[in-house]
Amino acid sequence: MTFAVSFQKVSRHFGAVRAVDGVDLDIRPGEFFAMLGPSGSGKTTCLRLIAGFERPTAGHIEIFGARAEAIPPYRRNVNTVFQDYALFPHLNVVDNVAYGLMIKGVPKAARRREAGAALEMVKMPGYGDRRPGQLSGGQRQRVALARALVNRPRVLLLDEPLGALDLKLRENMQEELKTLQKSLGITFVFVTHDQGEALSMADRVAVFNDGRLMQLGTPQEIYGSPNSRFVADFVGSSNVLPPVLVERCAGQRRWASLRPEAVKIGAPGRLSATVVSRAYLGGATRLGLDVEGQRINALVPAGEALPAEGETVRLGFADEDLHLMEPG
Amino acid sequence: MSAVGTIGAAGPSDAILPKRGGWRGRLADLLWRRPGLLLLLMLMPPVLWLAVVYLGSLLALLLQSFFSIDEFSGLIDRSFTLKTYGELLRPANLDIIVRTVTMAALVTLAAAVVAFPIAYFAARYARGKWKALFYLGVMLPLWSSYLVKVYAWKLILAKEGILTWLLQKLHLAWLLDGWLALPVVGGSSLSLSATGTFVVFLYVWLPFMILPLQASLERVPANLLEASADLGATPQQTFRNVVFPLALPGLAAGSIFTFSLTLGDYIIPQIIGTSRLFIGQAVYAHQGTAGNIPLAAAFTVVPIVVMGLYLWGARRMGAFDAL
Amino acid sequence: MRSDTSPPGLRIAAAAGLAFLHLPILLIFVYAFTTEDKSYQWPPPGLTLDWLAVTWNRPDVWAALSLSLEVAAVSTAIALVLGTLCAASVSGSRFFGRETISLLVILPIALPGIITGIALRSAFSLAEIPFSQWTIILGHATFCVVVVYNNAIARFRRVSGSLLEASYDLGADGLQTFRHVILPNIGTALVAGGMLAFALSFDEVIVTTFTAGQQQTLPIWMLEELVRPRQRPVTNVVAMVVVLVTLLPILAAYYLTRDGDQVAGSGK
């Protein structure tokens, strides 16, 4: 299979700093791919390596089967939606969108037509004569999207595309991006530090930390069975159980993760806990529990009986909900 | 979503575009592959110009300060000696240096006092249109012709000029006469006195004090002043304990200009003032008619050293942040 | 909030300071029309337009003016190229010696003009270069670089890294990016810097006295008149013309750069 993007032992070091360190990664054609991680984890550098703004210090990068690490960004059919949108302040909206076509030498009438169509696609028709400075953040984002898509890239890169938008706009945009990606069939690669965004939008998620790829999988795999304490901690609010407790429940002296909604209060419990806190969340209540000095969160769906604070309860869970992590 | 069909319908082989032909394409690719080369190409002309033309000349000048002049033939003896520097310490030359440095210090002090209200008002109270007006009001005199400014003062300070006329109208001519009768600061008329030199220096360099001072005052947050007032400080106390310390870097930055410019100027004291020389005039005289380039060169080292010391001190006060 | 009103004392002191800065220049305009030609008498005994015509017919004034314009134009052109290159390289990347280069650019203006002047003069005599308008231009271009540099660097910073990357990303190589993104964005700053450099060169006298031989620029012509007044009325008119000629590029530069970055205040 030819991958849209393929990293083979790719490293990018800046002096002593290992921004990206030996990453192997395959992105499938037509997939909505998320790179998730805290700031400084190497996810943005990976994006910049695909775009061509950075060159790897070691390893190979292929884009649709072609070796790309020495190809300058202007020769890659890959386009980027920048975090700060990077719209050209001296050009109006339609000239911004038509910039790539102008560089390719498309005649003025044709490129204006295509830019207009692209603006329509991102629901910004009629904004062509405005200056970027006259647009809101959400509108700039749409223009940046149109400016990238009008070039018909093989891969579209999005760097924290929704980071600067407020919550409501964000949710709208998430849906729209998803629909757009499905209808265009272009490979989308987007970088985010928001695990909710990654899980809800992506077909597959790559979790980064300290320049290394920690886990790659579907949102279900990442969320349901994190393979390391870092992933468990970073992706959502999973409980991490120390080897002492895990040994007692599962017989193996390993770290393990347990989703809060998998924790069952009462009945055949293997552990005993004290209720430390109760927080009403609407659809459920979050209980803070203390198990021999270890803090564990449990989500109790609305309607179920709730223990009082300070009460001692038994807690249990199905065996398949306890995910043992790889040692080390 | 009408345009959807036309977008994204490309074959898999076009992920990487072909190389661009011609010398332009090759040049662009070369510059991309070697960003250092591009940097070198860009830096070369300005650095060569400044290093060769400017630094080269400066070094040549410094070198000559270690030569000496043969007193009988008037020819320059190109062997290393500190003799010329020794000449600087002659009473007549020391006198010139002390006079110039004193004038520079006085001008700097006065410029700070006159500039402060303007800068403070512009930074804290002027808004919108007024702010622009204040800015232009300082920029225009700054950039107006230096000689014209000096000339204007020659008109003002002349015995028959507007200032004498004004003082007569106010029946204050006795004050001017009394001042001119004083030793050191006085003279036969204002345009032939050290007072005149001082006023013109102050006038010409004042904008150089206002701008950095205003820049540093802009950075004093208004809520800091309110906090101070809130804690029961009188306006005077707020000024002394909050505004002034925060304005100090700007003051130091401005004083670098006023001090340095006064040290090196030779035209103002030549046109307005007494016949007593300043460093600049001494340099000019020695290199010109006297042909004593080594002594002129040694004289120029004085402002360089004084400014070096001054900059070192100002840097410790954080003046460079306000430049 | 800063809506509080200013103390009256401060307002008066600020107004007096501004008046101190501007009244002397306004005085020049009155003297250009005085009938008195032997002294600097105030108030002028009468007003006349005659001196404008007299000045108009003076070949020495015209020669000095045309030399000044030529020197300023060529120096500005050289300074534009050198200053832009320098600003581009210093703002575009971090490299060893970057600080040294900014210092090198600022030095010709930071050190007193007399040092620059005598250094150049002694270098010319060591290298046995005869004085000509080119030696004047050499000096002027050297200290005009900083004005262009100061104006350009503020704008180069605004053309941030991601704008350039966006251009590469959209298929433009370095040369196309320069033409389509960098140049349109720094254009007005360059024009402004060029105008200030022109005004600076047009007005310069200290360095010029050392780098000019027999050539007279307009400031040199004026300086001679100031030291040994011979034709006061003509000098008055020339002073007025000089004020007007330098005023225009400065105002233009201000309007070109007023949104965002400041005109190079520390540039002179």
Residue B140: which pLDDT band, with cuts at 50, 70 and 90?
confident
- Subunit contact C168:A82, Cβ cutoff 8 A: no
Q: With beta carbons less than 8 A apart as the criterion, state whether C180 and C26 touch.
A: no
Assigned architecture for domain A5-231: 3-Layer(aba) Sandwich (3.40)
pLDDT value at residue A142: 92
- Subunit contact C185:A90, Cβ cutoff 8 A: yes
Which of A30-39, B129-138, C6-15: highest mean pLDDT? A30-39
CB contact C89 to A (< 8 Å) = no
Residue B189: which pLDDT band, with cuts at 50, 70 and 90?
confident
CB contact C170 to A (< 8 Å) = yes
Cross-chain CB nearest to A86 (options C162, C171, C172): C162
Taking only residues 38 to 57 of chain B, the set having a beta carbon closer than 8 angstroms to any beta carbon of chain C reads 38-39, 42-43, 45-47, 49-51, 53-57
Cross-chain CB nearest to A183 (options B4, B13, B14): B4
- Subunit contact A117:B3, Cβ cutoff 8 A: yes
Nearest CA-CA distance, residue A143 and chain C, Å: 13
Residue % of chain A over a pLDDT of 70? 98
Query: Which H or E run includes A111?
Result: helix A108-121
Residue B321: which pLDDT band, with cuts at 50, 70 and 90?
low
Cross-chain CB nearest to A77 (options B3, B9, B15): B15
Q: Is the pLDDT of residue B314 over 80?
A: no
**ipTM entry:** 0.82
CB contact B13 to A (< 8 Å) = yes
Sequence ranges of the domains in chain A: 5-231, 241-317
Give the Cα separation of B54 and B68 in Å (integer). Answer: 23
Residues of A in contact with C171 (CB under 8 A): 74, 100, 103-104, 151
Taking only residues 94 to 123 of chain B, the set having a beta carbon closer than 8 angstroms to any beta carbon of chain C reads 114-115, 117-118, 120-122
Number of helices and strands (H, E) in chain C?
Answer: 12, 0
Contacts of C59 (CB under 8 A, 6+ apart): none
Cross-chain CB nearest to C93 (options B28, B35, B260): B35
Interface probe with C: pick from B41, B97, B151, B218, most Cβ of C within 10 Å: B151
Write out pLDDT tens, residues B203-234. 999 988 988 888 888 877 777 777 777 777 77
Which residues of chain C fall short of a pLDDT of 70?
Answer: 1-4, 93-96, 160, 258-268
- Subunit contact B7:A64, Cβ cutoff 8 A: no
What b/e sequence results for C154-180 when a residue is b if at least 16 CB atoms lie within 10 Å of its CB, and e otherwise? bbbeebeebbbbbbbbbbbbbebbeeb
Q: Give the residue among B33, B119, A182, B31 at the shortest CA–CA distance from C265.
A: B119
Residue % of chain B over a pLDDT of 70? 93
Write out pLDDT tens, residues A79-135. 999 998 999 988 999 999 999 999 999 999 999 999 999 999 998 998 989 999 899
CB contact A66 to B (< 8 Å) = yes
Taking only residues 19 to 38 of chain A, the set having a beta carbon closer than 8 angstroms to any beta carbon of chain B reads 29
Q: Give the residue among C99, C165, C111 at the shortest CA–CA distance from C142.
A: C111
Give the Cα separation of A55 and A72 in Å (integer). Answer: 9
- Subunit contact B43:C108, Cβ cutoff 8 A: no
CB contact A63 to B (< 8 Å) = yes
- Subunit contact A64:B19, Cβ cutoff 8 A: no
pLDDT value at residue B322: 47
Residues of A in contact with B25 (CB under 8 A): none
CB contact C93 to A (< 8 Å) = no
pLDDT value at residue B13: 52
Residue located via tokens 């979790």: A207
Q: Is the pLDDT of residue A314 over 50?
A: yes
Nearest CA-CA distance, residue A15 and chain C, Å: 14
Q: With beta carbons less than 8 A apart as the criterion, state whether A51 and A78 touch.
A: yes
- Subunit contact A86:C163, Cβ cutoff 8 A: yes
Cross-chain CB nearest to C170 (options A83, A84, A103): A103
User: Among A99-113, B10-24, B94-108, B192-206, whose mean pLDDT is lowest?
Assistant: B10-24
CB contact B16 to A (< 8 Å) = yes
CB contact A2 to B (< 8 Å) = yes
Q: With beta carbons less than 8 A apart as the criterion, state whether A47 and A206 touch.
A: no
Write out pLDDT tens, residues C21-39. 888 888 888 888 888 877 7
Write out pLDDT tens, residues A256-310. 888 888 888 876 777 888 898 888 888 888 888 888 888 888 888 888 888 888 8
DSSP bridge pairs for B182: none
CB contact C259 to A (< 8 Å) = no
More confident residue, B107 or A308: B107
Q: Which two tokens stand for residue C185?
A: 């964005």
Interface probe with C: pick from B57, B116, B165, B281, most Cβ of C within 10 Å: B57
Residue C199's alpha-carbon distances to A61, C76, C147, C202, C253, in angstroms, are 54, 9, 10, 5, 10
Q: Which two tokens stand for residue C215?
A: 């050539």
Taking only residues 53 to 82 of chain C, the set having a beta carbon closer than 8 angstroms to any beta carbon of chain B reads 81-82
Average predicted confidence (pLDDT) for chain B:
82
Q: Is the pLDDT of residue A187 over 90?
A: yes
pLDDT value at residue C151: 83
Nearest CA-CA distance, residue A205 and chain C, Å: 24
pLDDT value at residue A11: 94
Task: Please give the residue of chain A at the shortest CA–CA distance from B1.
Answer: A121
pLDDT value at residue C139: 92
pLDDT value at residue A100: 94
Cross-chain CB nearest to C31 (options B57, B155, B207): B155
CB contact C252 to A (< 8 Å) = no
- Subunit contact B4:A150, Cβ cutoff 8 A: no
The number of angstroms, rounded, from the C-alpha of A272 to the middle of its chain's C-alpha atoms is: 36
- The residue-averaged pLDDT of A212-232 equals 89
CB contact B7 to A (< 8 Å) = yes
Residue % of chain B over a pLDDT of 90? 12
Interface probe with B: pick from C25, C38, C85, C122, most Cβ of B within 10 Å: C122
Q: With beta carbons less than 8 A apart as the criterion, state whether C255 and B139 touch.
A: no
Cross-chain CB nearest to C246 (options B43, B145, B212): B145
- The residue-averaged pLDDT of A174-186 equals 90
B152: burial class by Cβ within 10 Å (0-12, 13-18, 19+)?
buried
Assigned architecture for domain C58-257: Orthogonal Bundle (1.10)
Q: Under CATH, what is the fold of the domain A241-317?
A: OB fold (Dihydrolipoamide Acetyltransferase, E2P) (2.40.50)
Which of A138-152, A259-273, B71-85: highest mean pLDDT? A138-152
- Subunit contact B139:C265, Cβ cutoff 8 A: yes
- Subunit contact C105:B304, Cβ cutoff 8 A: no
CB contact C234 to B (< 8 Å) = no
pTM of the predicted protein model: 0.78
CB contact C25 to A (< 8 Å) = no
Contacts of A162 (CB under 8 A, 6+ apart): A141, A170, A173, A174, A192, A194, A197
The number of angstroms, rounded, from the C-alpha of A230 to the middle of its chain's C-alpha atoms is: 15
Residues of A in contact with B10 (CB under 8 A): 77, 152, 154
